[in-house]
Structure 1
């Protein structure tokens, strides 16, 4: 027996959190009985589980790496008709969902999967999964400014955890710098707000690593399946097993 929201997430219905919402809204039935309790359990091999009247099916697990362009919404649909991640996945038959988010104005590495259990672990703050970004900012921050990021800065929603931050590229004329920064949290627009705090606004933000997985040479707007080794690396990251070498590789990735 497993928790109902976990069964739904593993079947690719939606993220774990969204599945919990579906349950609370009374849209899930088990053997034709409406279930609204989040603690309810079921047997996916024996019980008939439906969402909005449609039986779920245990889909084959799929793990994708997508290089999201700027100006794309990190959702599968958008009521305003804006470009979404789904527009780039037309030939993917399985239902997959983004693992976390990338802002509309941000670009780079985005993971998608129908493995709701892994997605939940990767995005839950308690697992401290590292995410590395290349942030191009106005002017060149002093070393003392980077030290502030490394120690944590106070934002409106509290202190940030210590980050890794180092120069990736510096304009000889001092007009801009690209900083490689690794964080272990997932607050809304966190990296941008951290650089705003040290008075160096971000002009371009690209995620280059998530849980030790890097973009490599994947072109913008393209996706590929993760290898078995990469999926295992994500599982290790979700369990807190990210090596120092992984973190160093992420900081150096282009």
Structure 2
């Protein structure tokens, strides 16, 4: 195994970071300083040290995380709680999030130390679909849905979005639907919107532009008040996970995700 790969899969840092550590002379193999990231090592018998401490090989890790609203998708932040704060009991230095979710967006977020896995899922040409459940102020006509499905302009100097899928679940007046809409999730709705139209549904996209779902729905006159990612490819959020909980992906789930990227 290459030395840089060993260190990346042992949560020392991302591949590009550990290459720098190696070139700076911070890594030893069997007591000898090594400055070539591509040097081959035997992970089960060679002794690898980083900054004088022996590195234990952990291998590749893949986590499914049910992100709660209110935390940001980042490693650390001076003001806000981050998704990594929920993994305090694990060694996560070399682990990173696959894509990101907005601060107020909930749901499925993947984390890994496998750069190739991240690249395959996030590479635009792979068209891996992500599905979001939303509640929004407004309504969706057949023409609105057609625009979303065919592609829509959401920003100046931007290309139209790629074709999407829209499935409306509920539509009507908030006061008539508030019991069905789990009103606690619609905390942004106040009495001024009591008689306003609301709509819920699922929007499936294959891109990852900033605030894309919110901007797409805004382009057809809807203001998102609740958003949750429920799937990536064919991987569904495990609803047995409470908000803020995580679990490792199964081998079958990993293989299925990679298969969808081929």
Please report the TM-score for the alignment, with normalisation by the length of structure 1: 0.76
1:138–1:144 CA distance, 2 compared to 1 (3 A): same
Which residue of the other structure, out of 198, 222, 227, is the alignment partner of 2:250? 227
Q: Counterpart of 1:85? A: 83
1:34–1:140 CA distance, 2 compared to 1 (3 A): same
CA distance in 2, matches of 1:134, 1:141: 15
Q: Counterpart of 2:211? A: 189
1:193–1:7 CA distance, 2 compared to 1 (3 A): farther
Whether 1:215 aligns to 2:216 is: no
CA distance in 2, matches of 1:34, 1:224: 36
Helix, strand or coil for the counterpart of 2:254?
helix
Q: Counterpart of 1:202? A: 224
Shift of 1:233: 1.3
Is the contact made by 1:12 and 1:115 (CA closer than 8 Å) also made in structure 2?
no
Helix, strand or coil for the counterpart of 2:144?
helix
Shift of 1:172: 5.0
1:129–1:50 CA distance, 2 compared to 1 (3 A): farther
1:9–1:159 CA distance, 2 compared to 1 (3 A): farther
Helix, strand or coil for the counterpart of 1:171?
strand
Q: Counterpart of 1:162? A: 163
Is the contact made by 2:9 and 2:59 (CA closer than 8 Å) also made in structure 1?
no
1:1-28 CA distance string (max 9 Å, x none): 8796x6665454445xxx44775xx554
Which residue of the other structure, out of 32, 39, 43, is the alignment partner of 2:40? 43
**May I ask how many residue pairs the two structures share in their alignment?**
228
Helix, strand or coil for the counterpart of 1:149?
helix
Is the contact made by 2:3 and 2:39 (CA closer than 8 Å) also made in structure 1?
yes
1:154–1:143 CA distance, 2 compared to 1 (3 A): same
Helix, strand or coil for the counterpart of 1:205?
strand
Is the contact made by 1:208 and 1:215 (CA closer than 8 Å) also made in structure 2?
yes
Question: Any stretches of 5+ residues in structure 1 without a counterpart?
Answer: 240-254
1:183–1:13 CA distance, 2 compared to 1 (3 A): farther
CA distance in 2, matches of 1:127, 1:53: 41
Helix, strand or coil for the counterpart of 1:159?
coil
Q: Counterpart of 2:110? A: 111
Helix, strand or coil for the counterpart of 2:257?
helix
Helix, strand or coil for the counterpart of 2:79?
coil
Of structures 1 and 2, the larger Rg is shown by 2
Is the contact made by 1:14 and 1:116 (CA closer than 8 Å) also made in structure 2?
no
Helix, strand or coil for the counterpart of 2:147?
helix
Which has the larger displacement, 182-191 or 218-227? 218-227
CA distance in 2, matches of 1:2, 1:57: 15
Whether 1:65 aligns to 2:64 is: yes
Helix, strand or coil for the counterpart of 2:72?
coil
Please report the TM-score for the alignment, with normalisation by the length of structure 2: 0.74
CA distance in 1, matches of 2:132, 2:221: 18
CA distance in 2, matches of 1:14, 1:237: 27
Q: Counterpart of 2:260? A: 237
